[in-house]
Amino acid sequence: MTEVFSFLDPIHAIPGIRADWVERVPGLELACDRDEAMRHLRSFHQARVNEFAGNDAAWWRAEQVHGHAVAVVPGAAQIIVPDGLSAVPGVDGLLTNQSGAVLAIYVADCGAIWLADRRTGAIGLLHSGKKGTEQNILGVALERMAQSFGTRAEDVTAVLSPCIRPPDYEIDFAAQIAVQADELGLGNFIDCGLNTAADLRRYYSYRKELGKTGRMMALIVRDPSP
């Protein structure tokens, strides 16, 4: 049974939009680098996507290069990455206004940011850690959503996932994201406030586990209209 995370309630309050968060897989030892960890996690994450959106769901992933580029899907080019699945190259954020397109982002201390436009139904999912936050990927995504879907910042709900925080990390990028959200005029910004480095029973932490660990997965989808 999929756990329902209360910090995603603001997303679920928007009709037709659903989000999910996949934590550490119990009993699966992953003292390995990212590529190997992702190969081990592939079947677990695929099963969760199937549970979330159906066995035939089309899901989209970003290559995640710690940058600020975003892509609108469907329609973006893809490459095959080391776990054997496809991803949109060179981007750390995915956006869509198409129903049925599942967006997926992976994190292990960096933050995932869910975005949902209450007016247009457009959605987004971003990977924002130290570098992505410094490059203001949130602002880049909002600008692209405005250009592509007519999104207005005041209509957007954004939720920040569990991520690493002080005292376990010297930079409070979660606080920086909150400042950016305010400066952008987001209608609703929620930081869950949870620290990935403080609970290794629930979360993978790249810093605490010295880079030899797995990844959590964030998901969002816009369901077809009834």
Structure-block tokens of residue 177: 């994201």
Please answer whether residues 32 and 204 qualify as being in contact, where contact means their C-beta atoms are separated by less than 8 angstroms: no
Examine residue 24 and state whether it is found in any structural domain, yes or no: yes
Please answer whether residues 212 and 199 qualify as being in contact, where contact means their C-beta atoms are separated by less than 8 angstroms: no
Examine residue 176 and state whether it is found in any structural domain, yes or no: yes
Alpha-carbon distance of 37 to 82, in angstroms, equals 10
Alpha-carbon distance of 14 to 10, in angstroms, equals 7
What SS3 state is found at 71? strand
The total number of structural domains in the chain stands at 1
Examine residue 163 and state whether it is found in any structural domain, yes or no: yes
**Residue 179: domain span:** 6-222
Residue with more model confidence, 7 or 225: 7
**20-68 pLDDT per residue, tens:** 999 999 999 898 999 999 999 999 999 999 999 998 889 999 999 999 9
Q: What is the pTM of this model?
A: 0.96
Alpha-carbon distance of 25 to 30, in angstroms, equals 10
**75-110 pLDDT per residue, tens:** 999 999 988 899 999 999 999 999 999 999 999 999
Please answer whether residues 206 and 108 qualify as being in contact, where contact means their C-beta atoms are separated by less than 8 angstroms: yes
Examine residue 203 and state whether it is found in any structural domain, yes or no: yes
**CA dihedral over 215, 84, 71, 15, signed as positive or negative:** negative
- Residue 149: which of 118, 103, 107 has the closest Cα? 118
Examine residue 178 and state whether it is found in any structural domain, yes or no: yes
**148-202 pLDDT per residue, tens:** 999 999 999 999 999 999 999 999 999 999 999 999 999 999 999 999 999 999 9
The DSSP line for 28-39 is ----S-HHHHHH
**CA dihedral over 27, 60, 163, 192, signed as positive or negative:** negative
Examine residue 1 and state whether it is found in any structural domain, yes or no: no
| CATH number of the CATH domain containing 124 | 3.60.140.10
With cut-offs at 50, 70 and 90, classify the pLDDT of residue 5. Answer: confident
Examine residue 132 and state whether it is found in any structural domain, yes or no: yes
Examine residue 15 and state whether it is found in any structural domain, yes or no: yes
